[in-house]
Structure 1
Amino acid sequence: MHILLDLLLLIPILIFSTVESFVKLLIPKKRKSVSGEIVLITGAGHGIGRLTAYEFAKLKSKLVLWDINKHGIEETAAECRKLGARAHAYVVDCSNREEIYNYAKKVKTEVGDVSILVNNAGVVYTSDLFATQDPQIEKTFEVNVLAHFWTTKAFLPAMMKNNHGHIITVASAGGHTVVPFLLAYCSSKFAAVGFHRALTAEMAALGKNGIKTSCLCPNFINTGFIKNPSTRFIPTLEPEEVVSKLMKGILTEQKMIFVPSSLSVVIVLERIFPERFLNAMRRIINVKFDAVIGFKNKVQ
């Protein structure tokens, strides 16, 4: 009887939450202030990480910038300082757990407690399973998802103590829908999306409603990591457009940020329609990019 009553009580909650979501679409949410927040961005030496750092710098945040590329991270830091922000650059290999923990301690001592963490660092290898070397597969998971665990374990305790913070997971559309010849990458991004969703649920279960989470899932971006990407309907995105949507999502505390937003429709379709239809749809969408195919060598 109690179970039936609980299920019946879900109906008004469903109606209310649906109406609430619709109203939120019509009334733009006020953007929060990040002035004075200590923002750590991994992979900040180039691309999305660099542009995100610039946007936080304009909003008067204090920047902590991590990247494996010393020249790139110093360039980003210098530009952030020109924009009026305090910026601290560290050369960190996000595939190395101990290095992450060591530099996290250094950041706490030299800068303070990080309150906004942007897990952006990522690697991608465009090849089929056989052409992707074992170390490349390991590196993909170390950077694209395991690093998220280590950085979050390092900086989350201070956020939980203050019940204040924001953890951003930079994932991909490839964390929801698969693409041939990006097997390791898609697998790691599925894991990153799962990390975001599980962390969100865990914070709610612990009553830490002051700690926000966001997950960025864009289509192909013109950053040079994937060579000559194209699809039939969705154009390759420019980094500036993606960062604009990311910042809006962070400042309005949006949980899942799809770029373009139409990607959410494609993902829903994948959950509903049969495999034969999905295969036909993939042929029509016609995702293309330069990739190394090692299967032919294996069967010769």
Structure 2
Amino acid sequence: MAPFLTRLLKALCESSLRILLLFFVVLFRSCQFVCVRVLRAERRKSVSGETVLITGASRGIGRCLALEFAKHGADTIVLWGRNEEKLSSVKKEVEEIGTSRCHFYRCDVGDRQQVYRTIQKVQEDVGTITILVNNAGVVHGGTLLETKDDKIEETLRVNTLSHFWTTKSVLPTMIARRRGHVVGIASTLGLFALPGVSDYVTSKFSLVGFYESLAVELKQQGHRDVGVMCVCPGHTTTDMFKDLTTQSFSLTPQQVAEQTIEAVKTNQRRVILPRVMHLTWILKSWLPGSWMWNTLYVTGALKDMEKFCTKR
């Protein structure tokens, strides 16, 4: 009995210590967040006069980003997508807002050669891209064994590899001009996983690592004038996730667009939306692995994903 009590007391002490440490980490992160926002507010930059390229701009977050950049005075907005009719419609909306010029190009960002060709044409027609927003994405849904190989490859090409091709295309000019910003729209599923979308989760985890590595790389090379930011929104009410019934903490594309542009202006490195997801991310790092599964179960997220995958 004595050994059992010893192990129990030891486990309780370890749990208490872990919870105490977690409390201080949350407190520290909260204070850090407030201080950073105050300091950055003093050196806000404007997007007025910028030339912005947005991938996946025909609908959802991409469309809202185009309209918001126009409202904030961007000089030129370049729209990329695969549906020319929808791109043309967004172009009209942008031009109705104000003085921003707008161009659109049909481009499948999952095709590397097509990306390079289209970038070259954009540079010839429009000029230098000063803000790149990698937003295009796809989602299929299904367990690993249910997902076909070509769908997995498409997800990784569009959601991950395209960010390499577009960024490599515009980064040299940004570095040479000592001016620019690269933005990647990832997901909170790049910070913690849900079942039934393993290819999508993998692509978003990769993006979080890509932008973190790129930011460190540019800083180490002394290119501090080129900003790098990764945006991780939670469930957003777009067509991509229209079959996902989760309502807790849901975001609209407009909210994501507004917060993204605010983060560009204040040179933030990573944006997690909604803000409460910061706590989930911290808890995941400190608590046992079973905690996350139990949380998903209690909140009903597991059942929501089952319905999502079934409808897909």
TM-score range, shorter chain: 0.7 to 0.9
Offset of residue 228 of structure 1: 3.5
- Residue 45 of structure 1 contacts residue 73 of structure 1 at CA under 8 Å; is this kept in 2? yes
- Residue 185 of structure 2 contacts residue 232 of structure 2 at CA under 8 Å; is this kept in 1? yes
Corresponding residue number in structure 2 for 1:24: 36
Offset of residue 26 of structure 1: 4.5
Alignment of 1:6-45 (within 5 A): 22-26=34-38, 29-30=41-42, 31-45=44-58
Q: CA RMSD in A?
A: 1.9
**Which of 299, 307, 311 is equivalent to 1:285?**
299
Taking the aligned partners of 1:253 and 1:198, their CA distance within structure 2 comes to: 16
Q: 1:178-225 CA deviation, whole Å, 9 max, x = no partner?
A: 000011000000001111101000110110000001111011111121
Corresponding residue number in structure 1 for 2:83: 69
Offset of residue 285 of structure 1: 2.5
- SS of equivalent to 1:129: coil
Taking the aligned partners of 2:81 and 2:101, their CA distance within structure 1 comes to: 17
Q: Structure 2: where are the runs of 5+ without partners?
A: 1-28
Corresponding residue number in structure 1 for 2:185: 170
Question: Identity across aligned pairs (percent)?
Answer: 34
Q: 1:60-82 CA deviation, whole Å, 9 max, x = no partner?
A: 21101100111111111111111
Offset of residue 21 of structure 1: 5.6
Offset of residue 56 of structure 1: 0.7
**Which of 245, 266, 272 is equivalent to 1:252?**
266
**Which of 141, 145, 163 is equivalent to 2:160?**
145
Amino acid at match of 1:67: G
Taking the aligned partners of 2:218 and 2:278, their CA distance within structure 1 comes to: 24
**Which of 201, 204, 208 is equivalent to 1:189?**
204
Q: Give yes or no for the alignment of 1:81 onto 2:95.
A: yes
Taking the aligned partners of 1:270 and 1:92, their CA distance within structure 2 comes to: 38
- SS of equivalent to 2:222: coil
The list of structure 1 runs, each at least 4 consecutive aligned residues, that deviate by more than 6 angstroms after superposition, is 17-20
Offset of residue 235 of structure 1: 2.8
Offset of residue 34 of structure 1: 1.2
Greater shift in the superposed pair: 111-120 or 275-284:
275-284
TM-score, length of structure 1 as denominator length: 0.87
TM-score, length of structure 2 as denominator length: 0.84
Larger helix fraction of residues: 2
Amino acid at match of 1:189: K
Q: How many aligned positions are there?
A: 276
Taking the aligned partners of 1:276 and 1:223, their CA distance within structure 2 comes to: 30
- Residue 214 of structure 1 contacts residue 254 of structure 1 at CA under 8 Å; is this kept in 2? yes
Amino acid at match of 2:58: G
**Which of 231, 243, 263 is equivalent to 1:216?**
231
Amino acid at match of 1:119: N
Corresponding residue number in structure 2 for 1:50: 63
Greater shift in the superposed pair: 56-65 or 205-214:
56-65
